[in-house]
């Protein structure tokens, strides 16, 4: 009894001395999870609010970015206020639930991406991408990596992701750039434009992403294999829809933006297909049951659920299928459950970032239908919340996180062989950062003797990051390695392109032709043009053989032409001399590249410096500056001053009528929704406003139609330019009578 009292006294003293401990018990009865798994809330408000992404540091702690300023009201007011932060969450009483938060950075405006790399934190606060050193959990020296990372646009459509891939490059969604720090300098390179929100990779290094209506997209090949030819925009090997099945199986009738449109909801008012899919994750934790490794999980926040997809690999391509029909991996009737990001954890669990906000669609995109229903359902009142949920395999629910911070180099070397992808990925990066070249022999030994191909790939890119690769090692790996390791070795051989090494490279190619491995051939063929630029006479004959073999394979053909940007004319001449089939897909791609080079037409990723602001968001800003004072920020109108825009017959087809009103103005009474509005004064036109371009006016109209019409339409700047030529009878403002007399044809 005495010992029991002492224990209770000690516990009370411990609690009283730790008043900063905050734990919120979140009921999860409304969540239905696949059998064999366990769901737990490990962080919630008030510890965090409006989280959008998270990452783990090398101590296993959770870092989270909070987008507190996003959609606190239906109009999006206060969006530009510096309310966001980046926090470090800790579990001080070690019960598995976060109970303490440290603000690492505060007063941020819509922070949207974070990544622990190079011993510091990379984070995105539009328009900038920053790297900040970490000193005792406080920000140290800060470096501006890219001032054009996310310069303009709707927060739904700005670059994000910041995912370190196995190739030592950092990739993004909604972006066509990748980043890397090398020898203390930051590098920025064009890459394929990918997805909308969230990005992930598999063990091999392929990238996966999605957009609102396509739950899973991806590249068939390793990054940049299909984009090296500046004069050819790839169509067959990148940005591919991996599953045509967009069906969802929600537990309840959730509210979606265009729910009134035909085919969006079924007879029970349940969502049919995804409309806001985001944040895919290739599960690589090593703790889920057999069959779950490298499955792709996808967030569907509009329907309060998470999907599971199974990948299938086919040498030169990939596809996926939903694990089940009729049910989801995780679904809830909690209307506030908004999964917006997924993470593999150091313990093998899967972590869900739940923004837990009623309205997560941006105000520029919300339909009148949604606004009305959201207010009725009080969705706009669900603010000031946020959760992190954790999913574990029930049989491994007590798994501990591996702490890498204090791990010795030899331990990190062993962790490259770990079944948890987070552990092996981060160990690779730590080994590169430490730069211990004394480990080279051990890494080479792993490459030559390990039976774990994933560990071999990590070892290979650890050497690459240390600048410790050599040509003969790569040739050996390409000759002897399994498909994935050999393919990476072939790609990295391009680092050693010169006339001295050409013969060994060509010998490799001749042997691969005999092996007939489509997996390896696509990578070898994609490199031939690069080698031919140094040794045309030796390489072109082998390039011809691969071209003949794969002339009608769109993916391999595209990869071959992509690698041949420096020898386009010589390559064509070689094909012509050997009577190559001119109607073949490969030959047509080659002709397209040559013509584009003559016309100086480049793949857009080599032209654009960043993402342009989308038309509706730009239009919303102009509307608020110029139109909202009279028509109201919600388009409700002002009595005696301006009629309502909501459901107005002037904000849908024919949209040209609204364009003429905006250009020339409107006078006299007007009928809207069957009601007569007597205006006290004429609405002025904007056609003589030199600060507004035709594109600006088109953007305003596109926004207004989207925001206030049930069936939105859009108009182009070219059409605005044509409409400028039309005039009213007296050359001043239009009247309603004149507008109704006009007819518009396509």
Q: Is 615-741 a CATH 1.10.760.10 domain?
A: yes
Q: How far is CA 601 from the centre of its chain?
A: 27
Tell the residue number behind the tokens 């001295």, with chain if given: 500
List phi, psi (to 5°) of 745. -120, 150
Burial class (CB in 10 A: 0-12, 13-18, 19+), 266: exposed
Residue 287 burial class via C-beta count within 10 angstroms: exposed 0-12, middle 13-18, buried 19 and up: buried
Structure tokens at 743: 């007819």
Nearest to 414 by CA among 448, 349, 458, 469: 458
Sequence ranges of the domains in the chain: 2-396, 469-606, 615-741
Q: Which 3 state secondary structure label does DSSP give 421?
A: helix
The phi, psi pair for 116, rounded to 5°, reads -85, 110
Cβ atoms of 389 and 54 closer than 8 Å: no
Enumerate residue ranges in the chain where pLDDT < 70.
Answer: 1-21, 152-153, 397-398, 609-614, 624, 628-629, 633-634, 638-641, 679-681, 745-746
Give the model's pLDDT for residue 506. 97
- Is the pTM higher than 0.75? The answer reads yes
Can you tell me which residue has the tokens 């206060």? 78
| DSSP string covering 382-400 | --S--EEEEEEEGGGTTPP
Phi-psi region at 198: left, alpha or beta (left = phi > 0; alpha = psi -120 to 50): left
pLDDT in tens, 725-742: 888 888 888 888 888 888
Q: What is the DSSP letter of 290?
A: T
Q: Is 712 left (phi over 0), alpha (psi -120 to 50) or beta?
A: beta
pLDDT of residue 258: 82
Tokens 């012509």, residue located: 576
240 by Cβ neighbours in 10 Å (0-12 / 13-18 / 19+) ranks as middle
Instruction: Tell me the C-alpha to C-alpha distance, in Å, between residue 598 and each of 299, 321, 559, 587, 592.
Output: 45, 43, 21, 17, 10
Sign (positive or negative) of CA dihedral 134, 138, 144, 149: positive
In eight-state DSSP terms, residue 701 is H
pLDDT for the residue numbered 629: 63
What are the C-alpha distances in Å from 559 to residues 27, 221, 308?
A: 51, 9, 30
CB 162 within 8 A of CB 113: yes
State how far the Cα of 525 lies from the Cα of 226, in Å rounded to an integer: 11
What is the rounded CA–CA span in Å between residue 663 and residue 33? 55
Query: What kind and span of H or E run contains 191?
Result: strand 185-194
End-to-end CA distance of the chain: 90
Residue whose entry in the numeric block shows the structure tokens 């190079």: 118
* pLDDT per position as a tens digit, 423-474: 999 999 999 999 999 999 999 999 999 999 999 999 999 999 999 999 999 9
Tokens of 467: 């600048």
> For the chain, what percent of residues have pLDDT higher than 90?
71
Q: Domain 2-396 maps to which CATH number in 2.90.10.10, 3.40.710.10, 3.40.50.11540, 2.120.10.30?
A: 2.120.10.30
Identify whether the C-beta of residue 388 lies closer than 8 Å to the C-beta of residue 87. Answer: no
Contact 219, 236 (CB under 8 A): no
């Amino acid at each position: 009894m005495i010992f029991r009292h002492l224990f209770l006294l000690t516990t009370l003293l411990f609690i009283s001395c730790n008043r900063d401990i905050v734990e919120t018990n979140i009921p999860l009865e409304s969540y239905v999870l696949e059998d064999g798994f366990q769901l737990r809330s490990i962080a919630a408000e008030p510890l965090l609010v409006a989280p959008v992404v998270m990452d783990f540091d090398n101590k296993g702690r959770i870092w989270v970015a909070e987008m507190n300023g996003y959609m606190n009201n239906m109009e999006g007011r206060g969006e530009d206020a510096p309310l966001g932060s980046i926090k470090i969450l800790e579990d001080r009483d070690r019960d598995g639930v976060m109970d303490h938060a440290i603000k690492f950075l505060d007063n941020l405006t819509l922070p949207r991406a974070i990544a622990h790399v190079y011993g510091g934190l990379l984070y995105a606060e539009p328009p900038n991408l920053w790297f900040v050193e970490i000193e005792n959990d406080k920000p140290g020296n800060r470096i501006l990596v890219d001032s054009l990372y996310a310069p303009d646009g709707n927060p739904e459509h700005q670059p994000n992701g910041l995912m370190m891939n196995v190739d030592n490059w950092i990739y993004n969604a909604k972006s066509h750039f990748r980043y890397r720090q090398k020898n203390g300098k930051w590098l920025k390179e064009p890459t394929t434009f990918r997805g909308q929100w969230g990005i992930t990779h598999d063990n091999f290094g392929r990238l996966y992403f999605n957009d609102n209506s396509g739950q899973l997209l991806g590249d068939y090949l390793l990054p940049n294999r299909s984009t090296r030819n500046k004069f050819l925009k790839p169509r067959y090997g990148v940005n591919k829809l991996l599953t045509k099945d967009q069906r969802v199986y929600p537990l309840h009738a959730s509210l979606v933006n265009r729910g009134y449109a035909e085919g969006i909801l079924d007879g029970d008012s349940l969502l049919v297909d995804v409309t806001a899919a985001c944040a895919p994750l290739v599960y690589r934790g090593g703790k889920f049951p057999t069959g779950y490794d490298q499955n792709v999980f996808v967030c569907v926040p509009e329907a309060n659920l998470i999907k599971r997809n199974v990948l299938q690999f086919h040498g030169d391509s990939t596809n996926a299928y939903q694990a089940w029909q009729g049910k989801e991996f995780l679904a809830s009737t909690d209307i506030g459950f908004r999964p917006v990001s997924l993470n593999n954890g150091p313990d093998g669990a899967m972590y869900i970032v739940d923004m837990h906000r009623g309205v997560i669609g941006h105000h520029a995109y919300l339909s009148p239908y949604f606004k009305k229903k959201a207010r009725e359902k009080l969705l706009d009142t669900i603010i000031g919340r946020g959760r992190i949920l954790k999913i574990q395999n029930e049989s491994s629910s007590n798994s501990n996180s591996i702490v890498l911070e204090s791990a010795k180099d030899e331990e990190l070397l062993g962790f490259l062989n770990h079944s948890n992808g987070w552990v092996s990925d981060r160990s690779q990066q730590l080994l590169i950062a430490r730069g211990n070249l004394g480990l080279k022999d051990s890494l080479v030994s792993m490459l030559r003797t390990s039976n774990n191909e994933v560990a071999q790939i990590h070892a290979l890119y650890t050497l690459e990051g240390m600048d410790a690769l050599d040509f003969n090692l790569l040739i050996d790996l390409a000759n002897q390695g399994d498909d994935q390791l050999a393919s990476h070795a072939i790609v990295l051989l391009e680092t050693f392109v010169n006339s001295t090494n050409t013969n060994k490279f060509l010998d490799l190619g001749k042997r691969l032709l005999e092996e007939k491995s489509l997996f390896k051939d696509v990578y070898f063929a994609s490199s031939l043009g690069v080698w031919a630029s140094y040794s045309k006479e030796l390489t072109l004959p082998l390039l011809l053989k691969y071209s003949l073999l794969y002339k009608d394979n769109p993916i391999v053909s595209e990869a071959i032409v992509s690698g041949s940007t420096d020898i386009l004319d010589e390559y064509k001449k070689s094909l012509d001399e050997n009577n190559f089939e001119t109607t073949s897909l490969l030959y047509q791609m080659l002709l397209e590249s040559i013509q584009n080079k003559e016309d100086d037409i480049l793949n857009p990723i080599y032209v654009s410096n960043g993402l342009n602001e989308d038309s509706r968001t730009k239009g919303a800003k102009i509307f608020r500056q110029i139109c909202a004072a009279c028509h109201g920020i919600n388009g409700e109108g002002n009595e005696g001053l301006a009629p309502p825009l909501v459901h107005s017959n002037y904000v849908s087809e024919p949209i040209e009528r609204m364009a003429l009103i905006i250009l020339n103005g409107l006078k006299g009474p007007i009928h809207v929704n069957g009601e007569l509005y007597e205006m006290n004064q004429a609405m002025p036109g904007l056609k003589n406003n030199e600060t507004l371009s035709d594109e600006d006016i088109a953007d305003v109209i596109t926004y207004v139609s989207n925001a206030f019409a049930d069936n939105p339409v859009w108009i182009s700047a070219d059409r605005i330019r044509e409409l400028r030529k039309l005039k009213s009878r007296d050359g001043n403002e239009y009247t309603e009578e004149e507008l109704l007399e006009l007819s518009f044809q396509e």
